Amino acid sequence: MNAPLRRSGVVILVLFGLLFANLNWIQFYKADEYRTHEYNSRVTVAEYETPRGVIEAGGTALAQNKTTDDELKYLRTYPEGKIYAPVLGYKPVIGGATGIESAENDFLSGASDKLFGDRLSSMFTGDNPGGGNVVLSLSTKAQEVAWKQMTNNQRGVTKGAAVAIDPSTGAVQAMVSMPSYDPNPLVSHDTEAAAKAYQKLANDDDDPLINRATGATLPPGSVFKVIVSAAALQNGYKTSSEIEAGSSYKEGGATIRNSEEEVCPGSQVTLKEALTESCNTGFARLGVALGADKVKDTAKAFGFEDDTLKVGDLDSKTGLTVAASKTGDIANPDGSTDTAALAQSSLGQRDVRMTPMQGALMAATVANGGRQMRPYLVQKLLGPDRRTIYTAEAEKLRDPISSDVAGDLQDMMVSVVENGTGKRAQINGFTVGGKTGTAQNAEGADPHGWFIGFAFDSSGKAVSAVCVMLENVPGGHASAEAARIAGLIMKAAAGQGGD
Amino acid sequence: MTAPAVPAPPPASTGEMSRIPTGWKTRRNAELGLLAFAMTIVAVFGATVEAHQFDEIRMTSWIPAALVGILFLGLHVVVRYTAPFADPVLLPAVALINGIGVGFLRRLDLARAIAQKQPEPGIFAGTGGRQLAWTLASLILAAILLLVIRDHKVVSRYAYTLGLIGIVLVMIPAVLPSSISEVNGAKLWIRFGSFSIQPGEFAKIALVSFFAYYLVRKREVLSLASRRFLGIDFPRGRDLGPVVTVWLLSLLVLVFEKDLGTALLYFGLFVVTLYVATERASWLIIGLVLFFGGVYLAYLLGASIGGPFANFYDRAEVWLDPFSRANYERESGSSYQLVQGLLGLGTGGLFGAGPGAGSPGKVPEVRTDFIFAGLGEEIGLFGLTALLVLYLLIVERGLRAALAVHDSFGKLVAGGLAFTLGLQVFVILGGITGLIPLTGQTTPFLSAGGSSLMANWLLVAMLLRISDAARQPVAGLGRERSGPKKAPVQLHGAMTEVIKP
């Protein structure tokens, strides 16, 4: 009977060998997949064992934690709801974070190298203080004014964005996107309810989840004339140079008209006057006279075609991704310049697309004497004990224009606000410059209203540069409402006025 | 293969050493040393749990480990005097698994108490405390068995009685109303209030004894008096009748009790004892064909007519693709438990989160069927491998006792019990790890539950008894065996009834 007993032993050995092999498969080969599997909530529980860092601005907590009684110890809350959502993003229980929550995830969760010392000391003290805190550059006052004015605009516009930047540093003072969303339901510990809330937003035709300030590219309309003006000034034109204008202009099958009969009807107009009145025929001819390359190069110098820009943390270069603004091809199939397209593109139409962030950068560059500062949102990083770990140091991004050209452009843009189409952007006690844009888009749709501008205080210091974009503004003069809102935002960014 | 083909050679065979037992090694001190080592591991396990759960190791953490240590020490003393030549590895190996089981169950109690902000359960409260009490009861039973049954061959006298008892034990829950016999869909229990036992667990040992006795008696007939059909020798029906009857009965009952894992165990038990007794591989082939044929038939029936087979069909589907959303989210018989167990194991990875640092509470039934998955998250692949090796060690030591013992009855009982234990470990662990379809089974010595623990400790006591017989010097009935008691040594050995065809 020993032979079959021995064989039974072999059978058991083989069966155990199978168990062992299978365990290796699960615990070694598949371990990472299982560890991070969507059905596995262990990782999440561990993540919520320690508090995530706070995101704040101007002493106000914008993203913080509430202790709970359930399995996930901390609930992320966004006390300001919709106002900051496009900037902050949200950190859901299942799935990836968005916005600053995503860009600074390592720091907020405590995994960042910057917090290595804190992690090390917590190994010895035994208590884990959690992640680091992020202080945003946003001015809560400017942000609140921007949000209030955008959402209560006088034309009933439901979609748009506004960005305000400190021209001399690049610090983002306000960033609003509308419609926005309440991030709180999305971070609910009830993951089913969170998924439902997300689906509702994702299926919304108005795309509330998109941050329009950085992610929407729309035809900029006449705002683009600032670029064409810069190109002209860099190529020998003066603000007083006479350029050809007229009530209409035919170029390669395209007919350019002015917005109204009384705008630059004469055959000649100075460059400054052309910008002040937003003379379409003048700028179309000017663009064609300069040539596609100069227009495109100038746009590129201002930041067009750049798809690498992130607005967030200057140190780690993480942040909200800014979509590339584009001038389009402006070329015939054979490679030669399509002059009709060039004429239309010089007015910011045809295939020209721009983000509100790019508009604000243009205004800031002009206000800052031609130096474009790298925009940022993260002013400071604080350790869990609120020790300062990093403070943003302003960094130059580009030098698109000389200070002379910038000075001329300032002059021309101030004229726009004082004498021209941007009058509604005026603010008491400040010198305001800017450029309006009314951009046709789809056939039969109301145009988009744009305004980019800047404000100097009484001492001549550039305090704010802004871009306001309103989509499909009904009732004509689309840019006037944008200009009005821009003025109020800049005033708030300069520390004045409540609204 | 660790079990050597050669049984421990009795030095008594050389004339010089025939003065035994003075020079004979009982290896009892080795057992004590191994036991101390095992208890050290249990204590470290308990301390690590506290370190992770409370962020401090309190002096009280040693109490449960010390208590189980004392219990096993008590059994060791009993073994020292009643089975001095018993295999020294069996007891410490089982004690280590049992101790880890108690420690892990207590760890689950602690985690639950902390989560619910309740005071920590007392030493004998909670699942871990109850398991500790059950361990005490089991060890007393094992000690009684060792004290009462001084020679395993005595058992064969009561073989038919045991066979009957086995059948009755298996049948009781089937005939009882579901209200007192059904737990989680399986009718395997007798419940009195909060107290419940699983009588089928004890049937294993009774049935093995009956099979062994009967097959030894009929051995020659079964191997010789056969009809050849399709190149395979089939025994005459009247020779095999009682065994097949007992086996069919238990199987039928188990179908009614809706527990396929246990049915599989009895099937394996039956086939292996038959194979070992007859030494004919054809039995294995017939057994395997029957088994897999039956499984496939049940699967097909489940897919087409459903009814009592639907449950089986669901389990097979879940086994084939546990991670599919349909199987994960289905209303009944979902793969949720299996998937959570696998994710726990995967999360544990190579080294595990450390005792007390995982989230075994996420796996349903982690105290019973899925304890291996919960433990695996915390002790990792290396820890589980060590556990597997321990189980393998127990099984192979049991088989080694079967190889070494001289009487056929002892061979069959030890072999059958050891193999069944190994098969049970394979069935439950294979189920949890998705190797085979999941069937509800306890993990021997580890899962919470008194019936399983007691029955398996009785099994170990039986193996200890047989290994003692296998390893003791042939000539020496030693100090302990002095006295007039005359064992029926020859009764079930080679001299079986041989009925010439």
Each of the 501 residues of chain B gets a pLDDT tens digit; together they read 444 444 444 444 443 333 335 667 888 999 999 999 999 999 999 999 988 888 787 877 788 889 989 999 999 999 999 999 999 999 999 999 999 999 999 999 988 888 787 888 888 888 899 999 999 999 999 999 999 999 998 888 898 899 889 888 887 877 777 777 777 667 777 777 777 788 888 888 898 898 888 888 877 777 666 666 666 666 666 666 666 676 676 667 666 766 777 777 887 888 888 888 888 777 777 777 777 777 787 788 878 876 666 777 878 888 889 998 888 888 777 888 899 999 999 999 999 988 988 888 888 889 988 999 999 999 999 999 999 999 999 999 999 999 999 899 999 999 999 999 999 999 999 999 999 888 878 899 999 988 999 999 999 999 999 999 998 876 544 444 444 444 444 444 444 444 433
Q: Which of B92, B399, B269 is nearest to A13 (CA)?
A: B399
Q: First vs last Cα of chain A: how many Å apart?
A: 98
pLDDT at position A287, please?
94
Position A85 pLDDT exceeds 70:
yes
Helix A280-290 / helix A292-302 crossing angle, nearest 10 deg: 100
Return the structure tokens found at A49: 């064992």
Q: How far is A167 from chain B (nearest CA, A)?
A: 50
Q: What is the pLDDT of residue B198?
A: 84
pLDDT digits (tens, 9 = 90+) for A408-449: 999 999 999 999 899 999 999 999 999 999 998 888 889 999
User: Pick the catalytic residue: A222, A316, A464, A479?
Assistant: A222
Q: Quote the CA–CA distance of A155 and B462 in Å, as a whole number.
A: 91
Residue of A nearest to B422 (CA): A12
- Token reading at B136: 């005490």
Alpha carbon dihedral B172, B178, B182, B187, in 10-degree steps, equals: 50
Does residue A347 carry a pLDDT above 50?
yes
pLDDT at residue B233, as a whole number: 65
Alpha-carbon distance B4 to nearest alpha carbon in chain A (angstroms): 9
Alpha helices in A2-98 (DSSP H): 2-24, 31-35, 42-47, 85-88
Q: Which two tokens mark B481?
A: 């065996």
B403 Cα to chain A: minimum distance (Å): 6
Tokens of B130: 């109850």
Q: Using an 8 Å CB-CB cutoff, list residues of chain A that contact chain B.
A: 1-6, 8-13, 15-16, 18-20, 22-24, 26-28, 30-35, 37, 39-43, 45, 126
Answer whether residue A103 shows pLDDT above 60.
yes
Instruction: Give the residue from B242, B239, B243 showing the smallest Cα distance to B221.
Output: B239
Asked if the C-beta of B6 comes within 8 angstroms of chain A's C-beta atoms, the answer is: no
Query: Does B426 lie at the interface with A, CB-CB under 8 angstroms?
Result: yes
Q: Are strands A310-313 and B226-229 parallel, antiparallel or unpaired?
A: unpaired
In chain B, how long is the greatest CA-to-CA distance? 74
- Grouping H, G, I as helix, E, B as strand and the rest as coil, residue A206 is coil
- Give the CA count within 13 Å in the CB-facing half-sphere of A245: 25
Residues of A in contact with B463 (CB under 8 A): none
List the structure tokens of B464: 């200890």
User: DSSP alpha helices (H): ranges in A190-291?
Assistant: 191-202, 212-215, 225-234, 271-277, 280-290
The answer to whether A1 contacts B408, with C-beta atoms less than 8 Å apart, is: yes
Judged by a CB distance cut-off of 8 A, whether residue B343 touches chain A is yes
pTM (2 d.p.): 0.66
For A409, B188, B249, B264, B287, the CA distances from B269, given in Å and listed in that order, are 95, 19, 14, 8, 11
CA angle B271, B277, B283 (to 5 degrees): 40
Q: What is the mean pLDDT of residues A18-28?
A: 95
What are the phi and psi torsion angles at A186 (to 5°)?
-75, -20
Distance set, CA B111 to CA B57, B356, B362 (Å): 15, 8, 12
Is A222 a residue of the active site? yes
Evaluate whether ipTM surpasses 0.90. Answer: no
Distances (CA, A) of A71 to A68, A93, A240, B354: 8, 12, 70, 20
Residue given tokens 């302003």 in the structure block = A394
Question: CB under 8 Å to A117, separation ≥6 — which residues?
Answer: none
Compare CB distances from A126 to B55, B402, B430 and report the shortest one's residue.
Answer: B55
| Cβ-defined contact of B395 to A12 (cutoff 8 Å) | yes
The nearest alpha carbon in chain B to A11 belongs to B419
Quick one: pLDDT at residue B490?
45
Among B55, B277, B349, beta carbon nearest to A1: B277
Count how many pairs of residues, chain A against chain B, have C-beta atoms within 8 Å: 141
Interatomic CA distance for residues B312 and B301, integer angstroms:
9
Residue of A229, A271, A302 whose CA lies nearest to A465: A302
Report how far apart, in Å, the C-alpha atoms of B489 and of each of A99, B6, B417 are.
Answer: 83, 22, 21
Interchain proximity A16–B347, CB inside 8 Å? no
Chain A CB contacts of B435 below 8 Å: 18-19, 22
Shortest Cα distance, chain A CAs vs residue B80, angstroms:
28
Task: Mention every residue, 6+ apart, whose C-beta is less than 8 A from residue B496.
Answer: B216, B217, B218, B219, B220, B408
3-class state of residue B64 by DSSP: helix
Contact B127, B371 (CB under 8 A): no
Determine which of A11-15, A146-150, A272-276, B471-475 has the lowest per-residue pLDDT on average. Answer: B471-475
Gap between the Cα atoms of B471 and B44, Å rounded? 33
Query: Peptide bond before A179: cis, by omega within 30 degrees of 0?
Result: yes
Q: Which residue in B has a C-alpha nearest to residue A123's C-alpha?
A: B55
Return d(Cα B193, Cα B197) in angstroms, integer: 11
Q: By mean pLDDT, which of A103-117, A128-142, A289-303, B212-226 is the weakest?
A: B212-226
The pairing of beta strand A318-321 with beta strand A60-67: unpaired
Would you place residue A352 in the very low, low, confident or very high pLDDT band (cuts 50, 70, 90)? Answer: very high
User: Cβ of B323 and A39 within 8 Å?
Assistant: yes
Asked if B356 is an interface residue toward chain A (Cβ–Cβ < 8 A), one would say: no
Which of B272, B291, B343 is the best mutation test for A, with the most CBs of A within 10 A?
Answer: B343
Residue B140 in tokens: 């007393």
How many C-beta atoms surround the C-beta of residue B25 within 10 A? 13
> Which has the higher per-residue pLDDT, A256 or B286?
A256
Q: Is the minimum CB–CB distance between B128 and chain A shorter than 8 Å?
A: no
- % chain A with pLDDT above 90: 73
**What pLDDT score does B496 carry?**
46
Interface probe, candidates B336, B385, B399, B427, chain A, greatest A C-beta count within 10 A: B399
d(CA B189, CA B200): 8
β-pair partners for A162: A176, A468
- A230 pLDDT tier (thresholds 50, 70, 90): very high
Whole-angstrom distance, CA of residue A62 vs CA of residue B427: 54
